[in-house]
Structure 1
Amino acid sequence: MLSSAPRSPSPLRPFAERVLVVMALGGLALLAWQLSELLLVVFGAVVVGVLLHGLASTLRKRLPVPEWAALGLVILSLVLILSSIVLLFGAEVAAQIDAFRTTLPAAWNKFHAWLQSGPLGPQIESIPDQLRDGASTLATHAGAIVLSAGGGITDAVLMIVGGVYLAAQPKLYRRGLLRLLPRDRRDVADEALTASGKVLRAWLGGQFLAMLVIGSLTGLGLWLLGVPVALGIGLLTALLDFIPIVGPIVAAVPAALLGFTVSPQVALGALLVFVVLQQLEGHVLQPLIQARAVDLPPALLLFSLFGIGVLFGPMGVVLAAPLTVVLYVLVKHLYVHHALDDADDAVPAD
């Protein structure tokens, strides 16, 4: 009777397995690219859900109410606050926006005339023609721009509604996500999700506080300088401050242009207000936010804003910072701590 010796595994098997893994990863990357807008909307809903759930959890620590009641009170309170702001300041804000729309062209004309009077006058004379050509191109694509804006509003509504559903039943969706993973990986993934949720909640709270402070101080500083539409610029700065590094720079441009309608000195003063407040945010507010959330390297944040903006467009720029925060924490927990066994933890304790 012949004894059959065990067959040695084929030397091509490890290579074939690697090829299959690479093909699977490539397929997932292609699928993610095709569904990029959907994934971005889902993440936006997660951000809204984390914010609402965090506020509801804070309320439950002070009031003995069920989870659903706390969430309902939070949503009702936010609706009442926003409605009160619109009723109290809506007319003023609308007037400021209208004044901003009508004043900015005059500000640009005055700035352009000031540049023409300088040594770069001949080069500056060609700018109106270039702007006119750009305006013609913009008008050609106006339909696409309107459709894109409508799509952005739709995405925002989906994020808000989806965020409410996620905040109402966070454990349900969390369990569903964990069940997609192998059993031996679920505990590690659960820890990473918990840590990323804590950090994102802390980052959002700190960032909204920074937006309120910077927007208020910007409006006050520009008002003291006599810059037109100071309230509108302050509101714009507060909203754009959600986009770190880039947002305040964008807000400084119309502030300086409107300052030129008064004098070049006022325009310089407006820029100085932004510089001082950015130093305040960078050296005081952001360290406080990072101490409560995560110490995110500025270069990583800057390149993430650029890369995600290129991939996903304007909505990607808006969500780039919180997405980078979450990915940074997930990489630390899933790769650095567990794959590399590095115990250096930058995530704060609860």
Structure 2
Amino acid sequence: MGPGLNSRKARGALRTSASISLQMLLVLLATWVTLWLLGKAWPVIWPVVIALLLTTLTWPPVRFLRRHRWPPALAATLVMLLFLVVAIGTLVGIAVPVGAKSGELADQVVAGIAELRDWAAGPPLNISDDQANEYLNTAVDKLQASVGSIATATLNGVGSFFNGLVNTIIALFLMFFFLKDGPRFLPWLSRQLPGRLATDVPAVAGRSWDALGSFVRSQALVGMIDAVLIGIGLFVLGVDLWLPLAVLTFVTAFVPIVGALFAGFVAVVITFVTNGGTDALIVLAIIVAVQQLEGNVLQPMVQSRGLGLHAGVVLLAVTLGSSLYGIVGALLAVPVAAMLAVFWNYLREQLADRPAVVPEPRTAESATVD
């Protein structure tokens, strides 16, 4: 009897393991299919997500105007025009000062290279002019050998730029319609769907909208604080381009992790070129301190009631998005991950709310009948 019981337990354990393995395979297959579908639908998804992000940013003034009896189309048009003026003004505010300083920056870059070469010639490196020229010739030869690859990459970059420009225009049109007809969308969607979908899909859409709004507001607040603190540091050190660099810090804050690294790198490089190595090290220390304040204090406080995504999830999402779709992927990775998290949490809630099938208690009479 003992061996038979052990055999039945082994078969039961084997069946349980096989069932769990099958379920894991199905989950992995569903994940792969979902990612594949997202990749195929990405040209449609990313203008929609961009439009939704811009809509969450501009919806409060539209809502204010509509509450004061402005027609929806007029309110959406006015706010969208003001948004375009602010966006274009921000780009001009960054590009014009940098362009005006371009000649001076070029001269300072040459001087900085010469200073770096003089430093490398001394201890502890002791790199002679002949060695430096040899390294330079080697780099030039490698660059010439890579001309074809560079040209191909440049053409691909130009194509990606125009593709991004077209998608941006589509996103702006979608943004206008979202601002104009947004409140009517969920009721309309509910009427178009059958059965339980008429409740579930609008509920998920409403939560996704809240998550996107939380993302935009939190990133804007954190970016503003970073820009103010770093801008004050650059101003105190006397960096000529402190204002464009502060604006760049605010704009790139909407790309989590990657944006902060890029803005910090640009600030350190420009400070090194214009003010020298000592000020560049001070700027680097300021940026590291601000980023530590952001990561350990600001982000947990601001986003604790927002997206609910762990920092590791954010980092993986940004890494995956940037590796697949470049800058656009890095920008949209966190909002897309937040919407996926919303869908998963809603699905888990619905499954948890299903009443369990509880067997009726056995009474004395039923036990007697048995």
Q: What TM-score comes out, normalization by structure 2 length?
A: 0.71
Structure 2 Cα separation of the partners of residues 244 and 21 of structure 1 = 28
The aligned residue for residue 331 of structure 2 is: 318
Structure 1 Cα separation of the partners of residues 342 and 316 of structure 2 = 17
Tell me how far 1:168 sits from its aligned partner.
1.4
Unmatched tracts of structure 2, length 5 or more: 1-22, 355-370
Q: Describe the shift of the 1:31–1:294 C-alpha distance in structure 2 as closer, same or farther (beyond 3 A).
A: closer
Structure 1 Cα separation of the partners of residues 170 and 290 of structure 2 = 34
User: Amino acid of the residue matched to residue 142 of structure 2?
Assistant: D
Contact persistence 2:58–2:83 (CA under 8 A): no
Contact persistence 2:76–2:180 (CA under 8 A): yes
Q: Describe the shift of the 1:287–1:232 C-alpha distance in structure 2 as closer, same or farther (beyond 3 A).
A: same
SS of 2:309's partner is coil
Equivalent residue in structure 1 for 2:160, among 135, 139, 148 = 148
Structure 1 Cα separation of the partners of residues 257 and 150 of structure 2 = 27
Contact persistence 1:240–1:247 (CA under 8 A): yes
Tell me how far 1:151 sits from its aligned partner.
1.7
Residue 40 (1) aligns with residue 52 (2): no
Residue 200 (1) aligns with residue 222 (2): no
Contact persistence 2:94–2:247 (CA under 8 A): no
Residue 75 (1) aligns with residue 75 (2): no
Q: Describe the shift of the 1:40–1:285 C-alpha distance in structure 2 as closer, same or farther (beyond 3 A).
A: same
Matches within 5 A, 1:163-174: 163-171=175-183, 173-174=185-186
Contact persistence 2:256–2:331 (CA under 8 A): no
CA shift digits 1:269-307 (9 cap, x unpaired): 010111122123224432343145233211000000011
The aligned residue for residue 133 of structure 1 is: 142
Structure 2 Cα separation of the partners of residues 157 and 230 of structure 1 = 31
The aligned residue for residue 280 of structure 1 is: 293
The aligned residue for residue 348 of structure 2 is: 336
Tell me how far 1:133 sits from its aligned partner.
3.3
Higher helix share: 2
Structure 2 Cα separation of the partners of residues 107 and 42 of structure 1 = 45
SS of 1:244's partner is coil
The aligned residue for residue 52 of structure 1 is: 58
Tell me how far 1:50 sits from its aligned partner.
3.2
Structure 1 Cα separation of the partners of residues 137 and 237 of structure 2 = 29
Tell me how far 1:268 sits from its aligned partner.
0.9
Q: Describe the shift of the 1:227–1:279 C-alpha distance in structure 2 as closer, same or farther (beyond 3 A).
A: same
Structure 2 Cα separation of the partners of residues 42 and 81 of structure 1 = 21
Q: Describe the shift of the 1:50–1:120 C-alpha distance in structure 2 as closer, same or farther (beyond 3 A).
A: same
Structure 1 Cα separation of the partners of residues 259 and 290 of structure 2 = 13
Contact persistence 1:202–1:289 (CA under 8 A): no
Rg larger in structure: 2
Matches within 5 A, 1:234-245: 234-245=246-257
Q: Describe the shift of the 1:114–1:231 C-alpha distance in structure 2 as closer, same or farther (beyond 3 A).
A: farther
Residue 159 (1) aligns with residue 165 (2): no
Q: Could you tell which deviates more after superposition, 112-121 or 275-284? A: 112-121
Q: Describe the shift of the 1:235–1:20 C-alpha distance in structure 2 as closer, same or farther (beyond 3 A).
A: closer
SS of 1:338's partner is helix
Give the RMSD, CA atoms, in angstroms.
3.9
Aligned residues between the structures: 323
Structure 1 Cα separation of the partners of residues 352 and 106 of structure 2 = 54
CA shift digits 1:166-194 (9 cap, x unpaired): 22112554456556754213312222211
Q: Describe the shift of the 1:301–1:272 C-alpha distance in structure 2 as closer, same or farther (beyond 3 A).
A: same
Structure 2 Cα separation of the partners of residues 331 and 259 of structure 1 = 45
The aligned residue for residue 220 of structure 1 is: 232
Structure 2 Cα separation of the partners of residues 22 and 268 of structure 1 = 47
Q: Describe the shift of the 1:316–1:27 C-alpha distance in structure 2 as closer, same or farther (beyond 3 A).
A: closer
Q: What TM-score comes out, normalization by structure 1 length?
A: 0.75
Structure 1 Cα separation of the partners of residues 167 and 319 of structure 2 = 21
Structure 1 Cα separation of the partners of residues 158 and 309 of structure 2 = 36
SS of 1:287's partner is helix
Structure 2 Cα separation of the partners of residues 20 and 45 of structure 1 = 34
Tell me how far 1:218 sits from its aligned partner.
1.8
Matches within 5 A, 1:168-187: 168-171=180-183, 173-174=185-186, 177-178=189-190, 181-187=193-199
Contact persistence 1:252–1:271 (CA under 8 A): yes
Structure 2 Cα separation of the partners of residues 89 and 29 of structure 1 = 37
Structure 2 Cα separation of the partners of residues 186 and 112 of structure 1 = 69
Structure 2 Cα separation of the partners of residues 82 and 263 of structure 1 = 32
Contact persistence 1:216–1:234 (CA under 8 A): yes
User: Amino acid of the residue matched to residue 42 of structure 2?
Assistant: S
Contact persistence 1:215–1:234 (CA under 8 A): yes
